[in-house]
Amino acid sequence: MLTLVDQLTEWLEPGVPSFAVATVVGASGSVPRPVGTAMAVRADGAVIGSLSGGCVEAAVHAAALDAIAVGECHRETFGYSDDDAFAVGLTCGGSLEVHVQPVRPGDDGDPAAVALARLAAGRGAPAALVRRLDVARPTAVLLDDLSGRGSGIPGAGPDNSLRGLVDDGALPAVSAQVAAVLRAGGAATVHAAPGVRDGACEGEPEEPVTLLVETRLPPPRFVVVGANDFAGALVRAVHLLGYHVTLVDAREVFAAPRRFPQADEVVVDWPDRYLAAEAAEGRLDGRTAVAVLTHDVKFDVPTLRLALGLPLAYVGAMGSRRSHAQRLQALHDEGVTPDQLARLRSPIGLDLGAVTPEEVAVSVVAELVAVRYGRDAAVPLSRTDGPLHAARSTTAGTTPGTTRTKEHPRWT
């Protein structure tokens, strides 16, 4: 739904016919479009967007008109059928799960209409749209204050803005999972255990809460300073976490793109000058991480002084204990405050006994993940108890089917 906001502006005016938005919420196998892809259908038959390039569009169009008429959301699954060549499905052999939600433009009682109108007025500002998929009633919560949250994401505790979507019992787990999606950007579904439902009988099974989170956020950034073997291993490791990875070094002979094929970009520039320019352009935020691996004071100190003055998620520097002490003194002499120095992760990484570049990269990534989830202590899971995760975020998958199926979720 969020991907269509700019095209839906005219459809959001009061008095315009109702429309429905069909959004891909699950995909498996070979499918043409990712989770979050949307298509809108107006009551008069007009269409914006596409889900599959043609093979299920007619069926989705009919499902959207049905949602408008009934006024409820529902989900549909499309999978290829070998037995019936004329069945509605994906000839590519994959499977799509589609959520269809009606929207009444200009109706202040329609949460999706209100959210879409605010998104259209936001003109591309960072935002996220959260909808519940396991209920028939139309839902939508807009998170549009992301830039004012310091870290750019909801806090570790329950996010009250989601209270209208789920019961209080499910709120902590749901909030943690939504925050995880916001850290990563893009779109994903999340699942959480339900809260205690009013009127539920003891022992009655309850289905998990399922939400779709769509963000208008780029991937988080990871800036690696220094073109060496340790940087190469770290670039490869961080790339797996979904970061947009930049390698920067002032030495052109070492900062060659062919040496760092997993880097999204390789920049030849003085690292502090590069960071300053990126910060001035607003391309660094509370999800950004910086790792300084240069072992050279003329690069280290200016870069760390600048990075520690920015509201970044993670700032680390490689070096021995002796190098760390000398670096702290140099930064102090440069006017870096004690509070800023306390944010420096140096020597970089968790104490795993790492030696090789690949092992050090694992220790740095482990520390990055621990910092992301507020777990500074590197404690083996075998020596802890309680839940392993506050929550789990996944992209919804579906089982390939042979026919078109429809699900009208229960009201909660």
Listed in sequence order, the residues at least 6 apart from 140 whose beta carbon sits closer than 8 Å to its beta carbon are: 1, 111, 112, 114, 115, 116, 129, 130, 131
pLDDT digits (tens, 9 = 90+) for 310-348: 999 999 999 888 888 999 999 999 999 999 999 999 999
Is the pLDDT score of 408 beyond 60? Answer: no
101-122 average pLDDT score: 91
3-state helix vs strand vs coil in the chain, percent to 5 = 30, 20, 50
194-209 average pLDDT score: 57
CA atoms lying within 13 Å on the CB side of residue 298: 4
Residue 141 is classified by DSSP as E
DSSP 214-283: EE--PPPEEEEES-SHHHHHHHHHHHTTT-EEEEEES-TTT--GGG-TT-SEEEES-HHHHHHHHHHTT-
DSSP-derived 3-state class of residue 190: strand
Is the pLDDT score of 364 beyond 70? Answer: yes
Phi, psi of 158 (to 5 degrees): -55, 135
The Cα 308–Cα 261 span in angstroms is: 28
> Which pLDDT score is estimated for 175?
85
Is the pLDDT score of 153 beyond 60? Answer: no
